[in-house]
Amino acid sequence: MVNVNVPDIRISQAQFQPETGPSDVDVPAEVPAAEVSAVRSFLLSRGSSATADRLFAWLMLLCGLSIFVIVSLIALELVLRSQLTWHKFGFSFFYRVFTDPDTHMTMFWDPVNEQFSARPFIYGTLVSSFLSLLLAVPLAIGVAVFLTEMCPRVLRGPLAFLTELLAAIPSVIYGLWAVTVLVPLLREHINPLLIKLFGWTGFFADDNPTGLGYLSAGVILAIMILPIISSLTREVMSVVPHSQREAVLALGATRWEMIRMGVLRNARIGIVGAIILGLGRALGETMAVAMVIGATPEIHRSLLANGSSMATVIANEYAEAVSDMHLSALTEIGLALFIVTIIVNAFAQLLLWAVTRGTPSQVN
């Protein structure tokens, strides 16, 4: 029997007695004193916190709405400041071709004569991004499969940490390393090999000896998006229930068949989402691409040729653009980049959410 010291809480009689006016009944002045506990008297003295709670809730709501505000501000400013070129060229800004009045060569970007076209930049962005996907997706899925299914448990932690460390390296350092190590490597050894073997396809021409170009950009982008695709793939593979794996194994499958039929098939949608998220990152990548793509606003079929991408031209020319039309053209390219990355990322997030049934815990 526990002896609990329960404080005696008795509401004072005076609080409930209705006012009866002066009465000649002599109510004893000594009402039995109600022992209001310390906790209750403390709480009674503090009053209600309704206003403070409401204020706090509103403040937190404002913080939450700030995200909407940021997105709207970005969209608003981009639209407002690209009005000049939008009114001059309309939608043809994105695909027009014009000729230089003096040399009669096709040109795409002429700040002097205020003629602009986004065509080479869209081409460069698409080529470098899809090339990077081509290189990164098989490697990323290979790494994810190895880490999830084949790796000895001891190595799993360090290797996973190393691949995630790739994601933490800033873009400039990738660019610096690419310019110093990767581009000379491609220029001296790999490009001549590619030209010799695949020059007949037309995709590897011999006329650019600098080593900069779409291929270098694709390779460095592939290295950059690899950790994103790999870690998201690992996550969607881990969500697949073990019963699927065991069922396939019980039917006599080899380990690769178990992975193919039991895991990858179930995680298909999530893997597609991870790939699209990697594509979204590759589309917007600025610094590393700006350093290795050659910054030439032209379209070439050869992957070894210099080119440019949307983010590259904004980074290179924005600080030095003088005329309003030039700034407006760059802002319109930024607006196109913004819309495209939002659509791609929204689609990828929807796919990933559908697979993991909730919020992906990995925030890129």
Partner 1 sequence: MNTQSSNLRSQIRAVTDHTVTGLAIAATLIVIAPLIAIFVYLVYKGASSLNLAFFTQIPKPVGETGGGMANSIVGSAILLALASVIGIPIGIGGGIFLAEFGRGGKLANAIRFTADVLNGVPSIVMGLAAYALIVVPKIPFLPFTGHFSAFSGGVALGFMMIPTVCRTSEEMLLMVPHAIREAALGLGVPNWRSVLSISLKTASPGIITGCMLAFARVAGETAPLIFTVLGNQFWSSSLNQPIAALPLQIYVYAMSPYDDWHRLAWAGSLVLIVLIVVAVSLVRYVTSRGILKGNS
**CB under 8 A: which stretch of 5-13, 92-100, 237-245, 312-320 binds partner 1?**
312-320
Least Cβ distance, residue 287 to partner 1 (angstroms)? 5
Residues of this chain, 176-195, that bind partner 1 according to CB under 8 A: 176-177, 179-181
- Token pair in block for residue 61: 């709501």
CB of 31 to partner 1, least distance (A): 27
Backbone angles phi, psi at 106, to 5 degrees: -70, 135
In the complex, the smallest distance separating the C-beta of residue 350 from partner 1, rounded to whole angstroms, is 8
Pick the binder of partner 1 from 13, 37, 41, 49 (CB under 8 A).
49
How far apart are alpha carbons 204 and 193 in whole angstroms? 10
CA–CA dist 129, 216 (Å, integer): 11
Does residue 99 interact with partner 1 by CB under 8 A? no
- Is residue 53 close enough to count as binding partner 1 by CB under 8 A? yes
Q: How far is the CB of 250 from partner 1 (least distance, A)?
A: 16
By CB under 8 A, residue 171 contacts partner 1: yes
Contacting residue, 132, 191, 286, 296, with partner 1 by CB under 8 A = 286
196 and 256 Cβ atoms separated by less than 8 Å: no
Cα 323 to the chain's mean position, in Å? 32
The closest alpha carbon to 258, from 235, 240, 270, 275, belongs to 240
What is the spatial distance between Cα 74 and Cα 338, in angstroms, rounded to a whole number? Answer: 9
Handedness of CA 173, 178, 182, 184 (dihedral sign): negative
Cα separation, 120 vs 96, whole angstroms: 10
Q: Which pair of tokens denotes residue 180?
A: 């110093």
Among 84, 118, 122, 145, binds partner 1 (CB under 8 A): 145
State yes or no: residue 239 binds partner 1 (CB under 8 A). no
Binding mask 242-261 for partner 1 (x = CB under 8 A): ------------xxxx-x--
173 binds partner 1 per the rule CB under 8 A: yes
Q: What is the DSSP letter of 251?
A: T
**In the range 55-84, which residues lie near partner 1 by CB under 8 A?**
55-57, 59-68, 70-71, 73-74, 77-78, 80-81
Asked whether position 96 contacts partner 1 by CB under 8 A, the answer is no
Nearer to partner 1, 223 or 240 (CB): 223
Residue 245 contacts residue 258 (beta carbons within 8 Å): yes
Candidates 85, 129, 163, 302; binder of partner 1 (CB under 8 A) is: 163
Among 107, 344, 351, 355, binds partner 1 (CB under 8 A): 344
Q: Which two tokens stand for residue 269?
A: 């949608």
- Residue 285 exposure: Cα atoms within 13 Å on the Cβ side: 34
